[in-house]
């Protein structure tokens, strides 16, 4: 029996393209007569693999041992991200604000964005994405606390259902950032930025 784990990348792409082609045919698309649909199945297959690379592995992040890292709050603001909704496979996208308190080690400056991108590249829920990033920082990086605020537009809300345009904000927090003065410091440091984003929406 052929399974995902036994298939090579070329075979996966081919199988995905076959299924996309079948879906288009069932929807009544003219795959032979419409030149714009030529190669669409293959392009969608390639895109699908690109948007779901985070399913298969954990983020590749190096934790730098640093006993002098201290207990100060590290904050990365305005990190862009995009993902696909697990319910309808429609995009959601926006900006993330991530904070963590080192626990005897630090991660490289660019790692927060890579961690976010990794977990975003799988069928997701916005709330779960924030939780997964916070959990990873606590578990893998040994953070004493982690907090993730995501502010995103959800096309499954805008294109179907309520068909309303707006942004959804979610927060995931763990450890010393779940409550208390460090959490308040984080909110203060990103608060004005969030306010400006909403004013410009």
pLDDT given at position 201: 35
**pLDDT-derived band of residue 2, with 50, 70 and 90 as boundaries?**
low
77 within some domain: yes
When mean pLDDT is compared across 11-25, 84-98, 102-116, the lowest value belongs to: 102-116
Q: What is the CATH number of the domain that holds 74?
A: 3.30.1130.10
Count structural domains, the chain: 2
Residues 30 and 124 in one domain: no
Quick one: tokens of 25?
Answer: 């045919």
pLDDT given at position 196: 46
Cα angle: 148, vertex 103, 131; to 5 degrees: 25
Asked whether residue 91 carries a pLDDT value surpassing 60, the answer given is yes
pTM above the 0.85 mark?
Answer: yes
Q: What is the CATH number of the domain that holds 30?
A: 1.10.286
pLDDT tens-digit series, residues 43-88: 999 999 999 999 988 899 888 887 666 678 999 999 999 999 999 9
pLDDT given at position 161: 84
58 within some domain: no
Does 116 or 201 have the greater pLDDT score?
116
Residues 126 and 181 in one domain: yes
Contact indicator for 147, 100 with CB cutoff of 8 Å:
yes
Quick one: tokens of 180?
Answer: 């208390």
Residues 111 and 179 in one domain: yes
Contact indicator for 11, 45 with CB cutoff of 8 Å:
no
Q: Which domain holds residue 135?
A: 63-199
Q: Which of 155, 165, 114 lies closest to 137 in space, CA to CA?
A: 114
108 within some domain: yes
């Amino acid at each position: 029996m052929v399974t995902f784990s036994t298939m090579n990348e070329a075979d996966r792409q081919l199988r995905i393209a076959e299924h996309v082609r079948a879906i288009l045919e069932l929807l009544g698309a003219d795959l032979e007569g419409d030149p714009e649909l030529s190669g669409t199945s293959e392009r969608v297959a390639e895109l699908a693999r690109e948007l779901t690379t985070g399913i298969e592995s954990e983020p590749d992040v190096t934790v730098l041992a640093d006993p002098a890292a201290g207990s100060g709050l590290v904050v990365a603001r305005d990190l862009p991200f995009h993902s696909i909704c697990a319910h309808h496979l429609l995009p959601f996208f926006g900006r993330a604000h991530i904070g963590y308190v080192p626990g005897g080690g630090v991660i490289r400056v660019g790692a927060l964005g890579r961690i976010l991108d990794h977990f975003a590249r799988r069928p997701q829920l916005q709330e779960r994405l924030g939780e997964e990033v916070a959990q990873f920082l606590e578990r893998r990086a040994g953070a004493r606390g982690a907090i993730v605020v995501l502010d995103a537009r959800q096309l499954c809300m805008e294109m179907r259902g309520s068909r309303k345009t707006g942004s959804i904000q979610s927060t995931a927090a763990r450890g010393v950032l779940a409550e208390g003065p460090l959490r308040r410091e984080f909110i203060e440091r990103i608060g004005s930025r969030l306010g400006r984003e909403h004013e410009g929406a």
